[in-house]
């Protein structure tokens, strides 16, 4: 195979080298970036010179034409500065946006699981403690004291919207007809959650019962809970997917510009393992230098 670099004489190669050096000297970037710019710029200029030499120009003529096309080193610096400024801005924005998506995905997903599977259960257990546990409170149906306790529970437990209470005999508990002797519904919470009913919240009923000690009486209660809908979970998963995509894009871009070995393998590792894969491959690449 023909060695095309022989088409450029030493004087032309020196002029290209000096031009690239001046550009790298003036540009405000890291040493690694300057080396990258030097190699890429030198390679591009040499390729253009070679093409002109193939078209019957001398090496000196071709080099002069190429240098004129690139104008002055300062103009090249200005152009490259804009390119790298855009690249830095884009990389910075991608990473920040990825971090934003990750943080909020964790918030949405963890809130969904904590509220629906721990907090609601905890408040249901606390509401159970508010039910009367002595005969004195239910001798003539639901007493005023019991009503006040139920109101307190509904008004102060964030996950409870309403409660229905009934007093039944033990032998009638399995044949309960659904007639409640006291119902308390928080009007304020009804107004608060009215519009978001289907999109953000669900309102399931949770049944609890307490048998009064030393009696055959059972206090039946149905509490209407405020539960986060699956849309909260789905949105959290969507944000996490956005994070995965944005971080992978940022990571692959950085691996590409850092000239890692086996870039295709690096891309696959990052897509599969995300930040763990990125850190692993960066360390692996640095160790091989």
Of 23, 51, 70, the position where a domain reaches its end is 70
d(CA 165, CA 184): 9
List CB contacts of 150: < 8 A, sequence separation 6 or more.
130, 163, 165, 182, 184
Q: What pTM was estimated for this model as a whole?
A: 0.61
Confidence of residue 265 (pLDDT cuts 50, 70, 90): low
In the predicted model, is pLDDT for residue 113 greater than 80? yes
Determine which of 71-80, 113-122, 236-245 has the lowest per-residue pLDDT on average.
Answer: 71-80
Q: Specify the residue for token string 């870039």.
A: 263
Q: How many other CB atoms are there within 10 angstroms of residue 68's CB atom?
A: 8
pLDDT of residue 203: 86
| Average pLDDT for the chain | 79
| Residue with the larger pLDDT of the pair 175 and 73 | 73
Distance CA 89, CA 172 (A): 72
Same-domain status, 225 and 242:
no
Please say which residue of 232, 249, 265 terminates a domain. 232
188 shares a domain with 141: yes
pLDDT tens figures, 213-239 = 888 888 888 899 889 999 999 999 999
CB 211 within 8 A of CB 217: yes
Q: Which helix (H) or strand (E) is 36 found in, with range?
A: helix 31-54
pLDDT score recorded for residue 73: 85
Query: pLDDT at position 251, please?
Result: 74
Same-domain pairing of 280 and 214: no
Quote the percentage of the chain above a pLDDT of 90.
Answer: 21
Q: Is the pLDDT of residue 270 over 80?
A: no
- Cα separation of 154 and 173, whole Å? 24
Burial class of residue 273 in the structure, from the number of CB atoms within 10 Å of its CB (0-12 exposed, 13-18 middle, 19+ buried): middle
pLDDT at position 94 is: 80
Looking at the structure, do residues 176 and 257 belong to the same domain, yes or no? no
> Which segment of 4-18, 55-69, 71-85, 245-259 scores lowest on mean pLDDT?
245-259
Please give the average per-residue pLDDT across 147-167, as a whole number. 89
Residue 257 belongs to domain spanning: 233-288
Q: Are both 194 and 243 inside the same structural domain? A: no
């Amino acid at each position: 195979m023909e060695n095309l670099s022989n088409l450029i004489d030493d004087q032309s190669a020196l002029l290209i080298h000096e031009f690239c050096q001046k550009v790298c000297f003036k540009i405000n970037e890291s040493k690694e970036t300057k080396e990258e710019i030097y190699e890429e710029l030198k390679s591009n200029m040499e390729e253009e010179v070679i093409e002109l030499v193939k078209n019957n120009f001398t090496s000196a003529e071709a080099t002069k034409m190429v240098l004129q096309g690139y104008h002055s080193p300062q103009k090249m610096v200005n152009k490259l500065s804009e390119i790298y400024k855009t690249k830095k801005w884009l990389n910075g924005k991608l990473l920040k946006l990825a971090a934003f998506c990750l943080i909020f995905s964790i918030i949405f997903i963890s809130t969904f699981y904590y509220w629906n599977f721990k907090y609601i259960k905890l408040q249901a257990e606390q509401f159970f403690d508010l039910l009367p546990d002595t005969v004195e409170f239910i001798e003539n149906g639901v007493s005023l004291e019991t009503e006040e306790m139920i109101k307190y529970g509904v008004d102060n437990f964030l996950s409870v919207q309403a409660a229905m209470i009934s007093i039944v005999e033990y032998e009638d508990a399995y044949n309960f007809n659904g007639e409640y002797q006291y119902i308390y519904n928080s009007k304020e919470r009804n107004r608060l959650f009215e519009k978001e009913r289907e999109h953000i919240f669900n309102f399931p009923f949770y049944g609890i019962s307490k048998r009064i000690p030393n009696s055959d009486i059972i206090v039946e209660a149905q509490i209407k809970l405020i539960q986060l809908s699956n849309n909260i979970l789905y949105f959290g998963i969507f944000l996490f997917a956005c994070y995965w995509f944005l971080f992978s894009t940022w990571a692959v871009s950085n691996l590409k510009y850092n000239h890692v070995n086996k870039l295709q393998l690096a891309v696959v590792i990052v897509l599969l393992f995300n930040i763990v894969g990125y850190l692993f491959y960066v360390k692996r690449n640095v160790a091989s230098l």
